[in-house]
Structure 1
Amino acid sequence: MTSPVAPDAAPSVPEFPALGDTSYNTKAYNWGSWMPSLVTWVTGAVSKAYQNALSAFESATASAASAAASEASAVTSMAGSNFKGDWAGLTGVLNKPASVAYAGRVWLLLDNLADVTAAVPGVSASWRAYDVFLPLVQVTGTAQTAVAGYHYSLNNAAATTITLPASPAEGAMVWITVANGRYDNSIARNGSTIMALAEDMLLDNPISYQLRFINGSWRLL
């Protein structure tokens, strides 16, 4: 990770002579001779400002990853003792307390169910989501086909294209974090729509994008 650096002290400015000064030529020469050192100081200040900005960005990215890990740990702690597995693999009676995984989230059961298959998490009021809980995938290539329920961190030095699932389940989520600092990564809609628009999406800001599939379109959260 890039380390922040302290700026150099500003150089002292030689006196610029006023018209009529008896030492005008000497002072003017000294002032002019000083200009290259000013250029050197400004160049160094700009370079260090960029390094500090890069350090701040990397720290923010690392903090976001740490927060996501902490969130995942908290969700796991809450749900672990009563976790029943993937909802799609359950059948029959399911009583409280219970939690399941579905569409990239962990869901808490609020009501006893005679038939768990009849109550879809995110659709049925018998479930309440703990929070987003997505496994993290480090993307180091220039292309990645996303799977619903995963968090993708873009770490490649070149621009990366994330292709969304074409026909995900209602409520499915994909989370994308731009960690390569680029402004030309993109999301390929893959035959679906994003915000109801039949266009791919340029990731022109180095931040996180959370998309959920709602009513036939990928929506930004």
Structure 2
Amino acid sequence: MAATPVPSFTAPPDFPALSDRAAGTYNSKAFAWATAWQGTTGPNVYAIANTAYLNAQEAAAQASTAVGAANSAASAAEVAMGATNFRGLWSSLTGALAKPATVKHNGRFWLLLTNLADVAASEPSGSNPDWTTLDAGVEVTAQVTTNTTAVPGVRYILISNGVTLTGPTAGSMAKGEWWAFTLTADPLTCYVDFAGVPFRKQATGAARRIDTKVASLRLQYEDATQGYI
């Protein structure tokens, strides 16, 4: 709601001066002044004050809405930042872990809310205030700078030359699980090893060379025969 324009001030006539007594106009001028305050200026001053009050209420409401939007944006930014800092399976981690960070545990992704001195001592769960589950639709990503074994549900960003990304084995994946990779730099040569899992029934063989800029593939597992579809 927009602010209401404040009415302009309607000034009353001047209050009579003492010299008006001698001129015989003091009483008429005083009467005109009082009449204006009662009929015009007084209501006008009230309208100005009331409009200012209503505008102040509207400004306070809009400020509260803006604060809520800012908090929502900050929360969204924190989730996005955590999603781009995937640290791997929680069970494989030891030692200190600082925000922003995301791990996978029991088939779900978890966003770290508190810096931890020992991540192994804080198992992600719905009752552990150190963690919260990521909202549905948030794609977890991890930048690959060394040889890495993929985890289902993560998009891997290949940013270093010569690294090999190895996919999960067939026995470790359930129907419908997926992982993905993207090559973002050129010139850059990387390798993707499908770990023996077929691609649309076709044997994948040795690690495949990937050297096309912005090459990207999402691999969804169907079964041991179909492999990725």
TM over 0.5: no
TM-score (normalizing by structure 2): 0.40
Q: Which has the larger radius of gyration?
A: 2
